[in-house]
Amino acid sequence: MYKKQLGNSDLYISELTLGGMSIGTDKKNAQAIIEYALDQGINHLDTADLYDFGENEEIIGGAIKNKRNDIVLTTKVGNHFDKKKKSWFWDPSKEYILKAVKNSLQRLQTDHIDFYMLHGGTIEDRIDETIEAFEQLKKEGLIRAYGISSIRPNVIREYVNHSSIDGVMLQYNLLDRRPEEEILDLLQQHHISVLARGPLAKGMMTEQAKQQIEHKGKDGYLDYSYNELIETAQKLEKLKATHSLNELAFKYIFKHPAVTSAVFGASSIDQVKENINYYSGQEMSDKLYQEIQSVTKPITYQMHR
C-alpha cells in the first residue's frame, strides 16, 4: 500500500488508516483485526484516550507491542475523563495535556507517540497554551508530530497560522464536501496533511447505499433530505461504470492532493478486507471527478466562522 509523508514530519503513513474506535473491547477480536490490517500494508493506527475511557488505548497497546517499530501510532487528547464515573469535560490546558500524555503512553505500552492530536478545539480555547504543550512534548521526544482533529474553520486557521501542526483530521466524503470550499487548499499550501474520516458517509456511499440510507439517512444528512440522498445515490450508481460506489468514494477524496490518508473503522476482519479491496491507489480521472461534483452538493461550513 502506498505511503505518504505526514505534513513536514519524518512520518510516512499508509493511504488507509485503521481507526480504533470500532474495534470493540474483545481483545482477541481486536488483535485479529489489527494484525490483518498490518499484514495488508496498513501502518497507521488511530485511537484516542477517550475511546472506551482508555480501554481502547490499552487494547491497541497490547496488540502492537511486539510490532511497535513497524507502526505509526496516533492518539488524541483534550477530553478530561473519569473512567469510573464515565464522564468527561473539555480540557485543552497545557497542564492536562502534559499529564494525559503520560497516561496514554502507559496504556499504549510505548515510550513515544508518533502523532498526537488535539481531540476537538474551540476558538475560545487558550490555543497558545495548547501549542506550547505540544511543542514541549516534541522537544522531550514523547511525541514526534502533532495536529488537531476538527472541522471548525476558525480553529483550523488559528493552528495553521500559529503552530507547526503536520495534520488535520476532519470529515470528508462524497456527501460532506465542506472542506473543499476553504480548508483543503489552505492545508495543501502549508504542507499540512488531511486525514479524512468518514470516507463512506456512514455506509451511505457504498454498494449497500439504499439499505444504509434507509437505516441512517431517514432524517437526512447535513444539507441532504432523505429523498435527496436516495436520488444522489441513484445518480452516482449511473456514473460508476466498472467501479463500485465504495471505490468511487475513496477515489474521490484522494483526488485532492491534501488528502494523505482515509480513516475507516472496523469491527471485523471482513470490514477491513472490504475497505482494502475497494481502495485501488489509482487516481480518478478529471472527467469523472467533475461528473461526481455535478450530482453532489458543494455545501459549506455555516458555523465556526
**Phi and psi for 54 in degrees, rounded to 5?**
95, -20
Confidence at residue 280, expressed as pLDDT on a 0 to 100 scale: 75
Confidence at residue 262, expressed as pLDDT on a 0 to 100 scale: 97
Confidence at residue 13, expressed as pLDDT on a 0 to 100 scale: 98
Cell 488537531 appears where?
148
Confidence at residue 282, expressed as pLDDT on a 0 to 100 scale: 79
**Ranges under pLDDT 50 in the chain:** none
pLDDT digits (tens, 9 = 90+) for 193-217: 999 999 999 999 999 999 999 999 9
Annotated catalytic residue: which of 36, 51, 159, 252?
A: 51
Confidence at residue 305, expressed as pLDDT on a 0 to 100 scale: 81
Angle at 137 between CA 34 and CA 164, to 5 degrees: 90
Question: Which domains, and CATH codes, for the chain?
Answer: 3-295 (3.20.20.100)
Confidence at residue 241, expressed as pLDDT on a 0 to 100 scale: 75
Confidence at residue 281, expressed as pLDDT on a 0 to 100 scale: 73
Instruction: Find out whether 23 and 34 touch, Cβ atoms under 8 Å.
Output: yes
Confidence at residue 210, expressed as pLDDT on a 0 to 100 scale: 93
CA dist 220 and 224 (Å) reads 5
Is 36 a residue of the active site? Answer: no
Torsion sign across C-alpha atoms 260, 114, 10, 150: positive
Q: What is the dihedral of CA 142, 169, 265, 36, to 10 degrees?
A: -50
CA dist 16 and 44 (Å) reads 8
Q: What is the dihedral of CA 51, 278, 240, 287, to 10 degrees?
A: 90
- Helices 269-278 and 27-39: crossing angle, nearest 10°? 20
